[in-house]
Amino acid sequence: MGTGTRRGPVTVRSLRADDDGLSFVLADRDHDVVVDVLFDGRRVWSFWTLRDSEPRGRERHVPWPSALVRFLDGQASLALVDHVSGEQVAAVDATLGSGAGRIRVVDSKGRPLGLDKSLTLSRLFDSRDPDQLAPLLSSIDTVLEALQRCGMDAFLAYGTLLGAVREGGLIGHDSDADLGYVSRFDHPAEVVAESFRLQRHLVELGLSVTRYSGIAFRVNLVESDGVVRGLDVFGGFMRDGHLYLMGEVGAPFQRDWVWPLTTVTLEGRSFPAPARPERLLEAMYGPGWRTPDPAYKFETPTATVRRLDGWFRGTRAGRDLVWEIPSRRRLRTRPVRPSAFARWVRRSEGAIGTFVDLGCGAGTDVFWMAKRGTPAVGVDFKPSHYQSMVARAARDQVPLTFTWANLNELRSALATGAELARRPGPRVVTARHLADALDPTGLEHLLRLARMVVGDSGRLYLQVLRSPAAGPAAQDPRQQLRRPGAEPGDVDALVEQIVQRGGRVESRHDLVESAADGPHGTEPSEEKREVTRVVVSWQR
């Protein structure tokens, strides 16, 4: 399941730890194995010695996962242990941060936490005793029985099935339970309709359900110990000799590898499984599924991702950017201060029929514009970002509306563009540090949406990063982990892409932006950033 070829335990000649991460020297520079990182004898994290590190001179360096950073203040005995052989390959006594006290990676109740394969901090199964696992197993029984009452024969899936087949129990470095089912339908629309029928039936049975996508959802149960447990249920179907199972599987498959269902043993209990569970595990994890890998990363083929996105994930695809969220209290009570970019746009334009801010975030720029009498629309991929301004606009009777859109999904971009193109013109569209945060697909959709909205009478105003931030905060690795998703890019390439899509670059301005140039609500900082502003029009 890993990326390297195992030739016995890795040999580490030296290990050191600092606030940036771990640095080590490998005896064999081509030897890539998965190692566990132990804090005072307890596994907290795992990584591959080559895949997850980068060269720094003679050493390899791996940064601390962001989820761990807040705990790394104190002292700890760190050890690297070859996960498969269990052999300790290096150790060091580390002093991090202030160096006061022992480092304890625990929750608010003092219970041990660890990182799973997705680097999510959780209470892992290896920190729980059998009595603590019993409610989870009962929850699996409850959901399987409920699905069967709804007419669906489900089975253990992903890590839960892997643990049952490979070890007969839950995987120690895992933290949740997964179920799956394969529909008898072979058309995506019918499979989606069936999934929603299942959800309605489960709700009628008194269960709480949270939907992830067209054919995946979570069933929320309150266990006997009072813990709310979410069990993921992934739907799938057969089409053209392939099995497609949310969220990672798209592989050649035979129906008799699924039906009739068989059983496997998990923690001493019997649970349903596909007829050939090893075939499904190979489709999920590859031919090396029998070898444990606590740092496993799915490498789902692009074709499979695009099919599952288009069929089932819809307009939620690609929403994994992390942005700084201003304090809601500050947004509700303090005077709204726009960005220097918004002020510049207003000075540059005459009469504006409709002002549209793509990637509006908290909505401070668009609120400020609407406050001055310009009908305005804020567009963002996460409604929680602008909820405070929704309430404030209603309270102050400001001509402002907000709408949701996801530029990573073409259908969302086209629908949003068509709706905004009906607003009074001339329409001005702004995108401050949005083009430099999107992947190529998202950027293409941004330009298409903007062209639809501005038509032949408005303009698109872009601001993008031209170089990394400079200043004390920019050099602090802990601050770097909190930095929003915009990244410096090639402005010339951006301009070329605009021209290729029929746009005309009316002007380009290179300047330096300080933290004071940002909108109200952002955190104080000494950073200065080189940015470029680009003004674009079409068909003039």
Q: Which of 338, 368, 357 is nearest to 402 (CA)?
A: 357
pTM summary value: 0.70
**pLDDT 10s digits, 247-292:** 899 999 999 999 999 999 999 999 999 999 999 999 999 999 999 9
Please tell me whether residue 116 adopts helix, strand or coil conformation.
coil
**What pLDDT score does 468 carry?**
56
Element (H, E) at 391: helix 387-396
What is the average pLDDT value for the chain, to the nearest integer?
88
Residue 481 has pLDDT above 50, yes or no: no
β-strand partners of 430: 357, 461
- Looking up tokens 């220097």 gives 340
Q: Are 535 and 461 in contact (CB under 8 A)?
A: yes
Element (DSSP H or E) covering residue 146: helix 130-149
What residue type is 517 in one-letter code?
A: D
Domains of the chain: 12-112 (2.60.40), 125-316 (3.30.460), 328-538 (3.40.50.150)
State which H helix or E strand residue 281 sits in: helix 277-285
pLDDT (tens digit, 9 = 90+) per residue, 388-408? 888 888 888 898 999 999 998
Residue 342 CB-half CA count within 13 A: 26
Tell me the per-residue pLDDT of 372-389, one tens digit each, with 9 for 90 and over: 999 999 999 888 888 888
Residue 4 has pLDDT above 50, yes or no: no
Tell me, what's the pLDDT at 3? 43
- Taking only the tens place, the pLDDT of each residue in 164-210 is 999 999 999 998 899 999 999 999 999 999 999 999 999 999 989 99
Q: What is the pLDDT of residue 475?
A: 45
Alpha-carbon separation of residue 396 from 141, 362, 389, 399 (angstroms): 53, 16, 10, 9
In the 8-state DSSP scheme, what is residue 383?
G
**Length of the chain in residues, anyone?**
540
How far, CA to CA in Å, does 37 sit from each of 65, 93, 99, 295? 12, 13, 19, 11
Task: In whole angstroms, give the CA distance from residue 232 to residue 250.
Answer: 19
Chain segment 5-42, per-residue pLDDT in tens: 445 567 888 999 999 999 999 988 888 999 999 999 99
